[in-house]
């Protein structure tokens, strides 16, 4: 009996120590890892959240960019990080497509992460230089068929902009070669420089160039028009293909095994941030819409989107590489 009591006291001591450690969270700086370069939509969403979470959590929250492989480098880094709540990942909807396009991956989006909550939703646009002779999407289709040797930019191989571009080619007969980049910023640079004929890009980083008249948006990829580009039709409208719909979300994940108390604390802080009027306005100015979820709801969305991404990939004939 004495041994049993001693064991129970020791076990209780460990439990109390763990509870105390969780209650003290956070005790140091928190990092939000972004799998794309600075200046893109994913990066912008992370920085809006980080700025406001600092005050709520009482510690600095910094954004680090670990770009490459369509966001997989950043995801791999966080999946392998200590599950203590100090290294988080700003995931994008495109990450749910990657498992269906790559034969070997070093992480499982569903099993190797704990969902914290969705942050916002956004869409993409088909964009050309303002000097392009194509003023509408139909004209771009005709132009590529006549000229051939046309190329288009996306934000990486296997990401949603790539899928949207290949799906657009399939339904319209566009003849164009895919040129992948490591995010929106380098895609924009080469589009502005005339190195690609058109691009499928996030609306947010494209907006300044669209407003300045340097670029032209021909269509958006979502099933509804963007509030930031109300005069730009959807691809579904422009080409009369009602089934076309590609959009994305952004949300916070932690490594699997992160204590439930820490996830709860981070989720509560994120929810408070997303209810701030200034945050809603900031996202709106970036052509994004605030989207609040519980960790459980976010996890279910991720699982559903992995299945949806697989169906889209199969329908347009993209095979895992």
pLDDT band at 10 (very low <50, low <70, confident <90, very high): very low
pTM of the model as a whole: 0.76
Average pLDDT of the chain is 89
Instruction: Name, in order, each residue with C-beta under 8 angstroms of 297's C-beta and a sequence gap of 6 or more.
Output: 118
Bigger pLDDT: 21 vs 300: 300
Range of the domain at 226: 123-239
Tally DSSP H helices, then E strands, for the chain: 11, 10
The pair of three-digit structure tokens given for residue 287, joined into one six-digit string: 């052509």
Amino acid 23: pLDDT? 57
Of the three residues 193, 223, 239, the one that is the final residue of a domain is 239
Alpha carbon separation from 60 to 35, 52, 120, 258 (Å, rounded): 20, 10, 22, 19
Report helix, strand or coil for 204. Answer: helix
Q: Indicate the pairing of strand 247-255 with strand 113-129.
A: antiparallel
pLDDT over 70 at 51, yes or no: yes
Count of positions (residues) in the chain: 321
Domain boundary among 219, 239, 259: 239
CA 290 and chain centroid, separation = 14
Rounded distance, CA 264 to CA 114, Å? 11
**Separation CA 78–CA 11 (nearest Å):** 30
Q: Which of 239, 271, 304 is the last residue of a domain?
A: 239
Judge if 187 and 51 occupy the same domain: no
Does residue 101 surpass a pLDDT of 90? no
Within a domain: residue 48? yes
User: In terms of domains, do 91 and 231 share one?
Assistant: no
């Amino acid at each position: 009996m004495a041994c049993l009591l001693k064991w129970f006291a020791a076990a209780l001591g460990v439990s109390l120590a763990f509870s105390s450690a969780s209650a003290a969270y956070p005790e140091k700086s928190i990092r939000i890892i972004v799998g794309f370069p600075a200046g893109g939509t994913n990066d912008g969403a992370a920085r809006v959240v980080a700025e406001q979470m600092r005050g709520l959590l009482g510690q600095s929250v910094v954004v680090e960019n670990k770009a490459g492989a369509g966001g997989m480098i950043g995801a791999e880094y966080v999946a392998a990080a200590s599950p203590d709540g100090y290294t988080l990942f700003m995931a994008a909807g495109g990450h749910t497509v990657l498992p269906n396009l790559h034969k070997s991956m070093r992480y499982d989006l569903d099993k190797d992460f704990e969902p914290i909550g969705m942050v916002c939703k956004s869409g993409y646009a088909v964009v050309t230089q303002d000097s392009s002779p194509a003023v509408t999407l139909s004209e771009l289709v005709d132009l590529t068929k006549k000229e051939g040797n046309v190329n288009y930019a996306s934000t990486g191989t296997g990401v949603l902009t790539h899928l949207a571009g290949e799906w657009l080619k399939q339904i319209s007969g566009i003849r164009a070669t895919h040129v992948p980049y490591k995010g929106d910023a380098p895609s924009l640079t080469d589009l502005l420089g005339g190195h690609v004929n058109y691009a499928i890009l996030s609306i947010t980083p494209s907006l300044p160039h669209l407003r300045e008249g340097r670029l032209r948006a021909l269509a958006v990829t979502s099933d509804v028009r963007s509030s930031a580009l109300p005069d730009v039709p959807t691809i579904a409208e422009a080409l009369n293909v009602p089934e076309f719909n590609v959009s994305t979300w952004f949300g916070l994940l932690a490594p699997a095994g992160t204590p439930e108390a820490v996830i709860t604390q981070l989720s509560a802080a994120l929810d408070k941030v997303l209810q701030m009027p200034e945050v809603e306005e900031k996202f709106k100015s970036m052509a994004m819409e605030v989207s609040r979820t519980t960790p459980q709801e976010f996890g279910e969305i991720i699982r559903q989107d992995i299945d949806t991404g697989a169906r889209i990939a199969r329908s347009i004939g993209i095979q895992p590489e």
